[in-house]
Amino acid sequence: MKSLRYFSMLLPLFMATSVHAAAAIQSEPIQPIPKAVVKNPAMVELGKKLFFEPRLSKSGFISCNSCHNLSTGGSDNLSSSIGDHWQQGPIRSPSVLNSSMNVAQFWDGRAKSLQEQASGPIANPKEMASNHVLALDVLRSIPAYVNEFNQVFGRKQITMQEVTQAIAAFEETLVTPDSRFDQWLKGNKKALNTQELRGYQTFKTAGCVACHNGPAVGGNSFQKMGLVSPYQTSNPAQGRAGVTGKDADRMLFKVPSLRNVALRAPYFHDAGAPTLEAAVSTMGQLQLGRQFSTQEVSDIVAFLHTLTGKQPQIVLPTLPASSNNTPRPTPFN
């Protein structure tokens, strides 16, 4: 009875603390990343297999994970991705981690959803270099895949709709919660040291949060690269202008998420910044018209390192064996 009375006395204190913590989070321009909620485990498992499936490519060598390596921050850490026959792509690969929080997919936002994005690389001659007919023929020729699609979708007929839906379901689980910064947001004031806190304050007061905000610390808007001063690059990418055809959208790119940014150098769509320090300095000048001091750059970089969250714990799938009827890969001419 005494313990019940004691608990009833403490309950208002617990509730007040929770309300205070929630209010503190709400007042910040950045919010914690929620953990992934898996609604259909069987579809996610199928999507994982397809994400790692190299037979969706013409060469039988390239998978989604080739350019969006889950061991290296969800990207390939190259200045531009390498595709079929070692072709170099025109732009660097964005991270697949937390990509479900993006306003759209690709740097220029040409895909509205993860599902729409998933179909593009398969048929891109500079990426996986296959086509949808061939990719579906491969999957339909493998009995284990036919059975698994039937179990997940209730029909044996495999179409790109089901393929991309499964891949998107898997990618939606690739979130990175519980970074040290998230722990700080939730009330653990020991999660960040003095320099990291100073870096966050500079990040806010300098105006970085105007574009890098929300749970993903970006990814939710398109902004011009070179707002104050023109960005000098030899990269041919034109940003949103390549999608809309409007000159006003030239050099308008999706703001990248800064979650796990310390894991995926180099930076920018053209890999123009080899280090975080270079990226912070360049952004200060081009986007804010501000010359950060060496100390300010160091402080902001220290803060950015606290945005590395728990990486997805992926058990590599065992892919089903090809049948005698499976189209063979053609990695060479």
Which DSSP letter does residue 267 get? B
Which DSSP letter does residue 54 get? G
Neighbours of 95 (CB within 10 A): 26
Task: Report yes or no: 130 and 247 within 8 Å, Cβ to Cβ.
Answer: no
From 232, 277, 269, 273, select the one nearest 80 (Cα to Cα): 269
143 vs 197: CA distance, rounded Å: 55
49 vs 44: CA distance, rounded Å: 9
Helix (H, G, I), strand (E, B) or coil at 174: coil
Q: What is the dihedral of CA 252, 253, 256, 261, to 10 degrees?
A: -100
Residue 59 corresponds to which tokens in the numbers above? 């060469």
57 vs 123: CA distance, rounded Å: 8
Task: Report yes or no: 64 and 70 within 8 Å, Cβ to Cβ.
Answer: no
DSSP 228-259: SSPPP------BTHHHH--GGGTTEEEPPP-T
Which residue among the candidates 53, 127, 148, 196 is catalytic per the annotation? 127
Burial of 73 (0-12, 13-18, 19+ CB in 10 A): buried
Active site (annotated) includes residue 162: no
Helix (H, G, I), strand (E, B) or coil at 84: helix
Burial of 154 (0-12, 13-18, 19+ CB in 10 A): exposed
Chain CA centroid to CA 138, Å:
28
Task: Report yes or no: 183 and 190 within 8 Å, Cβ to Cβ.
Answer: no
Annotated active-site positions, please?
127
